[in-house]
Structure 1
Amino acid sequence: MKSSSLHLSECLKTAVTAAHAAAAILQAHARHRNDLIVDQKAQNDLVSQADREAEDAIIAILREQTPEFGIIAEESGSSGGSTATWYIDPLDGTTNFLHGIPHYAVSIALVAHAGCMNADEQPLRQDTPVIAVIYDPNREELFTAMHGIGAWLNEYRISCSQTQVLQDSLLATGLPFRDFSFYGQYMPTLDAAMRNTRGVRRMGSAALDLAWVACGRYDGYWEMGLAPWDVAAGTLIVREAGGAAEDMRHKDPWPVAGYVYAANPHIADALDTMIQPHLKRAEL
């Protein structure tokens, strides 16, 4: 199976088209957000009419243009694909969106399965994100990446920051808000980051946190308890911008289990070292 069979450049165009379609729906609803029908799936786990309509628009485009691929979506569940699978978050930052905070994004990634050929005609040894799109409609910032080729913000190539040490770094994170089972692991990492870095930001969109690491606005980022669609696109964008984006438990080839750390190449090891003592040893 060759990478050319995936037609990565065409897949990227498809993902960009889908992201723009979803964003148009979100922005139309944003002007009338008080009229939205909002359901609560669990504590602080909200889904709105805007999420569902945006996801439907994405899925319709992906199924029409890449019917051979599987789809894993936040609201619609999953369908299988032997070659590759799309991971979709139609609205990353739902709580921000519903409260009128203009910081949210559409996130779409294509993960190629083990055995596919990479750009060097070598088979991938593990599942690997190969296409990524994160679109911030409020700033009109389109982050994209292609495996082995690079990462871009709109038409400009991006790279991670050059901050050399953790003490001079600005980090991003996400606080526990829905699942508190890892609270005892997370809070010590936050304390360590507050005491040993330049500062910590919590903006409410994991996809944009990762994208901002990739373009150098943040030096690093970590979060626990996420879903795979939250991090699939951002993982590739950070990696193609020269940084590290990994599973903090060092189990999975990408942070599919939702325990992610990402950073520029200079501080990645130090960030990982800061996190490791606080993870439950039984889970490593």
Structure 2
Amino acid sequence: MQTSFALSSSLETAVQAAHAGAAILQAYANNRSELVIDTKMRNDLVSQADREAEAAVIHILRSQSPEFGLIAEETGGQANQQLATWYIDPLDGTTNFLHGIPHYAVSIALIAHAGTEINGSRLDQDTPVIGVVYDPNREEMFTAMHGVGAWLNGQRIQCSQADSLANSVVATGFPFRDFSFANQYMPTLNTAITSTRGVRRHGAAALDLAWVACGRFDAYWEMGLAPWDVAAGTVIVREAGGISEDMYEQLPWPRNGYVYSGNATVAPELLAMIKPHLIYP
């Protein structure tokens, strides 16, 4: 049974797949009025741009890495618990895309499962090991490889040097689809507004995390996301010297969609701000 694989070839595959998905998105971007849009649930939209981009991504990942499991936002899928699983969001920031706001991305991550051997050592827990977030409007390709580093268009990136939450610009995401956690979230937003340098909400979680990794944001938190929203960004932040974790401190990566992140100094302060308001499951 296979227990290891080459990270470098997996990263190359993910980059190729991200370009393929983004090409479809950009082909539709100037013809948004022709898109057929379906509503999965309140404020949760999907179009043929999402579906076709996802199909292009899946085709490349399955043809070049058939040994891995695959879970995608629109078509689902199945994990490979013995080795690794791709997590795909073909269009992170769908609402932005459909409204002509040029802030969205293709997000692809590879999660190596516990027991897999990476870089000569065996993992004792599920771990994001490859992350790709591609912003086609800015032509910015964020990539990361576990234990090696994080890059923006091939240049190594690091989280910011902010020395406190008070001196930080922080990003977040408001409840937009599931409002059941609003009583946990809203107090954290109120505190952040009054105790940081500024709060930004751009509507694309994968890019929020990527921007933490390259120092544009000092920290970021959000609740109620999906695992494919945060998987790639998590490894990019971690490999840029930062922290990206489950705010409940129960999971090895924030696959529950309750994520906090930031540089090594600010992230603990952010968690301390959030924790008094959490309702633990």
Give the TM-score taking structure 2 as reference length.
Answer: 0.98
CA distance in 1, matches of 2:121, 2:2: 9
1:118 aligns with 2:118: yes
CA distance in 1, matches of 2:154, 2:252: 29
Q: Is the 8 A contact 1:22 1:58 kept in 2?
A: yes
Q: Which residue of 2 aligns with 1:74?
A: 73
CA distance in 2, matches of 1:149, 1:136: 22
CA distance in 2, matches of 1:115, 1:207: 27
- The offset of 1:78, in angstroms, is 1.4
Q: Which residue of 2 aligns with 1:243?
A: 242
CA distance in 1, matches of 2:5, 2:102: 35
CA distance in 2, matches of 1:118, 1:57: 28
Q: Is the 8 A contact 1:2 1:117 kept in 2?
A: no
CA distance in 2, matches of 1:80, 1:269: 31
Q: Which runs of 4+ in 1 moved over 3 A?
A: none
CA distance in 2, matches of 1:117, 1:68: 15
1:89 aligns with 2:96: no
Q: Which residue of 2 aligns with 1:168?
A: 167
- The offset of 1:118, in angstroms, is 2.5
Number of residues of Structure 1 aligned to a counterpart in Structure 2: 280
Amino acid at match of 2:117: M
1:160 counterpart SS class: coil
CA distance in 2, matches of 1:113, 1:272: 26
CA-based RMSD: 1.0
Q: 1:5-42: per-residue Cα shift (whole Å, max 9, x none)?
A: 31110000000000000000000000101100000000
- The offset of 1:266, in angstroms, is 1.1
1:182-221 to structure 2, matched below 5 A, reads 182-221=181-220
CA distance in 1, matches of 2:190, 2:227: 26
CA distance in 2, matches of 1:187, 1:168: 21
CA distance in 2, matches of 1:138, 1:155: 17
Q: Which residue of 1 aligns with 2:266?
A: 267
CA distance in 2, matches of 1:198, 1:80: 41
Q: Is the 8 A contact 1:90 1:106 kept in 2?
A: yes
Q: Is the 8 A contact 2:2 2:83 kept in 1?
A: no
Give the TM-score taking structure 1 as reference length.
Answer: 0.97
1:4-43 to structure 2, matched below 5 A, reads 5-43=4-42
Q: 1:119-169: per-residue Cα shift (whole Å, max 9, x none)?
A: 2x2210100000010000000000000000000000100000000011000
- The offset of 1:2, in angstroms, is 7.8
Q: Is the 8 A contact 2:70 2:85 kept in 1?
A: yes
Q: 1:198-228: per-residue Cα shift (whole Å, max 9, x none)?
A: 0100000000000000000000000000000
Q: Is the 8 A contact 2:5 2:118 kept in 1?
A: no
2:49 counterpart SS class: helix
Amino acid at match of 1:41: K
Q: Is the 8 A contact 2:18 2:106 kept in 1?
A: yes
1:6 counterpart SS class: coil
Q: Which residue of 1 aligns with 2:62?
A: 63
Q: Which residue of 2 aligns with 1:102?
A: 102
1:23 counterpart SS class: helix
Q: Which residue of 1 aligns with 2:156?
A: 157
Q: 1:91-133: per-residue Cα shift (whole Å, max 9, x none)?
A: 00000000000000000000000001122x2210100000010
